Amino acid sequence: MKYRLALFLGLFLALGTACTGTKEKTSMELTNIDSSTERSIVEKIVRENPEIADTVTLAAGVRQAAQQWRERFGTKEDFINFCSENYMATPERRRELFNKLSVAFEAMWGGYNKMSVELKKPMHLDGDPLTAVDYIFGGYDPSSHLSEDLYNNKIAFTTILNFPFYTLNQKEELGNSWSRLEWAYARMGDIFTPDPPASVKQMVADAEMAAESYIADYNIMMGRLVAEDGRRLFPDEMVLLSHWNLRDEIKSNYAAIPDNLEKQRMIYKIMLHIVEQTIPKNVINSSEYEWKPYSNTVLKDGTVMDVQPEGVKRYEVLLKQFRAQQAVDKYSFAYPDAISRAFDGAMQIKVDDIESMFTEYISSPKVARVASVIKERLGRDLEPFDIWYDGFKSRSSISEEALTTKTKEMFPNAEAFDKSIPAMLLKFGFPAEKAKELGDAIVVEAARGSGHAWGASSKEYLARLRTRVPKGGMDYKGFNIAVHELGHNVEQTISLRDVDFYMLNGVPNTAFTEANAFVFQKRDLQLLGYSSSNPEQAKMTELDIFWGSYEIMGVALVDINVWKWMYANPDADANMLRDAVISIAKDIWNKYYKPVLGGEDSPLLAIYSHMINSPLYLANYPLGHIIEYQLEKFYKGRDWAKEVMRIYSIGNIAPQRWMMEAVGEKISTKPMLED
């Protein structure tokens, strides 16, 4: 007991030091509440409530509330009285407050989430051309003032006082002994860490929307591409979004179809032009010109045109994201930069641990052994784009044309996919009642861009599956992506509606929802009537997961190191950033990928659109692959639909604790490297 008390005091003292360190003073620092006042408040509350047993949590709540109390909220005396009047001294009163706050937060977050969904519909859904008003509403955050309002009306301080914040280190030290209710209390403590003002939050929303708009409208007109000898390799109507659709087209050309290798090489060249920003700006999202990617020649009506490259637009958009996060930094005492917010905060795993795990994996001798299998299967030396080798999947031996014919017939529009969700879940083994419940909780909409899954924030509202549906029906690539997004929606719905406390809704980080999406996606052929029980293919699936993890881990390392570079060079311009991104991508490629795939100094790892519109998110994908692999090993021989329902109702506790409860072991690459 003495050890536990000392541990609590040490951890909260460390937190207090981190929160009130020697950084230059800013407008958010507090000058009217000192440490002696904090001690006197604790003594006063204990004196008035001698039944209090947990004085450590009380002291932490007082300290954290004091750290965020500004003069505009009241005097020192006002703060003393506030704490005395609003601290819930008994477990019963604390639980009652927790219940009331939970109901209110669900109502507010659910409502604001619904507003965001509606305001962003023109940006996200297929429809009329976008106007200036659509961009304005799409970039507007209706909840930008909510946090400020909750501080002003003291709800935030009531929450902080009674449910203090725990750092990642504290959660890892203490969480194993917490009950479900204690975990829910800790999650409530995550809500009101220092928040930037509305103007800064709007700056972040503007930067995110600018990036999303840039990426969502970055199409390559494949039918206008011309080989150096004048041949056209792609259908006239084919339009591919960078980078997702370009990557998927490379994957689809591992099937035995005409000109497959030549198509892959041309797409690889296009990707290099995008990363290096040598792509002619006239060919982006325009069918007016023909383009020869190898010579980088643009023609119109057979005449060579003098056109300008895109330049640094891609990196201007990324730099705007960085500037917005810089503005947030000075308001974030617990996680003082975007990297720590993304990993310690959102991911709940330290960035050094992620880098160590990924580096160990991609430098494993197993990589070369798997590469030799791919080389043998292809009958040629590997090339850089083979990082997306797709031949381990069962569908790679099936004609994509045949699959597309089937998916177009089954899903002529988004509504058809929507109506089919219960039947698809039945095929996956979900009970009929649960399949209907999930189907009713998910709505499918035709996306303007590549699509995404958008969960609800309240049990009263629906999760949304946005997927691209071309004219004439859903092609196979679109179907495969839609099944991935369905996996997200199923997780989002279960982890919201089936958890015991609203504050535990969700999963520890997005890697866990990615894992479920991967599990769904790999079973897509089962939904089209093809058997997925081939033992040989099960072995190939393991190789597919291994190779996919190798691919995305390098991309994630580029993403992380780019942000480290930006923080080390905060005054850099877009030209400097472009050069740095290319250099970082080349360095990681040469060290971990060139020995396997060739292509010295290839910047291919920097092609991912996530680096631009979802910075520091990419690490969730390889972590998702690791978790997926562990889940799949656990599902073997079990009713996987039943286990999905159980596992994703665990909710949002610490990642390693979640894995222990889910499959009985912590997150680790060892199972993949050992098999």
Q: Cα(15)–Cα(5) distance, rounded to whole angstroms? A: 15
Report pLDDT for 33: 87
CA–CA dist 521, 526 (Å, integer): 10
User: Residue 460, Cβ neighbours under 10 Å: how many?
Assistant: 11
Assess contact for 266 and 227: CB atoms under 8 A: yes
Which stretches of the chain drop beneath a pLDDT of 50?
1-31
Contact 176, 86 (CB under 8 A): no
Adjacent-strand bridge partners of 444? 465
The C-alpha atoms of residue 667 and residue 627 are separated, in whole angstroms, by: 7
d(CA 179, CA 55): 19
| Residue 641 pLDDT | 96
CB count in 10 Å sphere of residue 346 = 16
pLDDT at 24: 38
Contact 97, 158 (CB under 8 A): yes
Question: What does the chain come to in residues?
Answer: 675
Q: How high is the pLDDT of residue 20?
A: 37
Residue listed under structure tokens 């509440």 = 33
Residue 327 Cα distances to 200, 324, 331, 570, angstroms: 6, 5, 8, 12
Angle between helices 640-647 and 510-521 (to 10 degrees): 170
Give the pLDDT of residue 397.
61
Ranges assigned E (strand) in 87-213: none
Cα–Cα distance, 475 to 478 (Å, whole number): 5
Q: Which domains does the chain have, with CATH numbers?
A: 2-192 (no CATH), 214-314 (no CATH), 328-389+533-674 (no CATH), 399-527 (3.40.390)
pLDDT at 533: 58
* Long-range contacts, 281-288 (Cβ 8 Å, 24+): 281/307, 281/308, 281/309, 281/310, 281/311, 281/313, 282/307, 282/308, 283/220, 283/221, 283/224, 284/218, 284/219, 284/220, 284/310, 285/217, 285/218, 285/219, 285/221, 286/221, 287/221, 287/223, 287/224
Q: Report the C-alpha gap between 114 and 329 in whole angstroms.
A: 28
DSSP 248-282: HHHHHTTSS-TTHHHHHHHHHHHHHHHHHT-SBGG
Phi (first) and psi of residue 240, to 5 degrees = -120, 130
* pLDDT for 624: 85
Distant-in-sequence, close-in-space partners of 191: CB < 8 Å, separation ≥ 6: 105, 156, 159
- Asked whether the bond before 243 is cis by omega within 30 degrees of 0, the reply is yes
